[in-house]
Structure formats: structure tokens, C-alpha cells
Amino acid sequence: MKCKIVGSTSEIFSGKIKSLMATSSEGELGIMPGHTPLLTSLRPGPVRIIDTKDTESLLYVSGGFLEVQSNEVNILADTVIRSDDLDAARIAKAKVEVKALLKSKGMSNKNVKLLAQLAQLDGQMRTLNQKIKH
């Protein structure tokens, strides 16, 4: 099955895969050859790819869309980062800062950007945690 993962600035992954796992707005997804056609939004978090040589790749996506059509999977996201490029200390520090801002400003619809930023940071940390498990 062919797979392409594209961020806003470049194509991050292109190749043949055995499977792909991601988190959609509806929950966890596992995509394998022969999967029924699908179009869904993605939540910020990890995307795990197993290629045809059984090599595993772990990426973070900021959200976006996943499409499955006739033995092809495409992911379009604003931000795609390889798990090796994520920095746990930076993420943890940024989460503390965002939570402090939310606490001082209160949880309201006016703080949508801060809430979105916190969701992104949580997704990056989940990606790192999956990397540690494997």
C-alpha cells in the first residue's frame, strides 16, 4: 500500500507500507492493505508507520486529514515532525508555561489558541511516550 505524509512545507514520508496507526477525531485507527475508503480528521498526536521491510517510523502530526483510497493512504497536516526531532524538556517547559497562562486567564472560549497549543504539546508528548515504549 502506498503512503504519503505531507506537512505544510514539505513531504515528510513517501513509500510503501504494511500498516499505519493514527488517532482520528473518532479514536484510534489501524490502516492495512485493503482498508475500506475513508476520509477523517486527525487529532494532534503520533502516527506509526510499518514499511514493507518491517522498519517502524514514528511521526507527530498537528492534526489534519487522513484519506484512504484504493490501496493508498495520504495524510495532510500543517505540522509533521519526526519523533527523533521532538525535545521532551522543551515540550514539558512549554506545557507548564501554557497551563500557567490558562490558569491566569481562565478557561474560556477567548483562550482557544492556548487550548489548541496545549493539545499540540500533549500530542507531542504522547508521540515521545510511544517512542519510549517501543
**What is residue 35's predicted lDDT score, i.e. its pLDDT?**
93
| Domain region containing 22 | 2-83
pLDDT tens digits, residue range 24-70? 988 999 999 999 999 999 999 999 999 999 999 999 999 899 999 98
**What is residue 134's predicted lDDT score, i.e. its pLDDT?**
55
Domain shared by 11 and 47, yes or no:
yes
pTM summary value: 0.85
Domain shared by 43 and 72, yes or no:
yes
The total of structural domains in the chain comes to 2
In whole angstroms, what is the distance from residue 61 CA to residue 69 CA? 20
pLDDT tens digits, residue range 70-113? 899 999 999 999 999 999 999 999 999 988 888 887 666 667 88
In whole angstroms, what is the distance from residue 59 CA to residue 80 CA? 7
Domain shared by 70 and 96, yes or no:
no
Domain shared by 45 and 9, yes or no:
yes
**What is residue 112's predicted lDDT score, i.e. its pLDDT?**
84
Domain shared by 66 and 92, yes or no:
no
Domain shared by 9 and 49, yes or no:
yes
DSSP, collapsed to helix, strand or coil, labels residue 92 as helix
End-to-end CA distance of the chain: 23
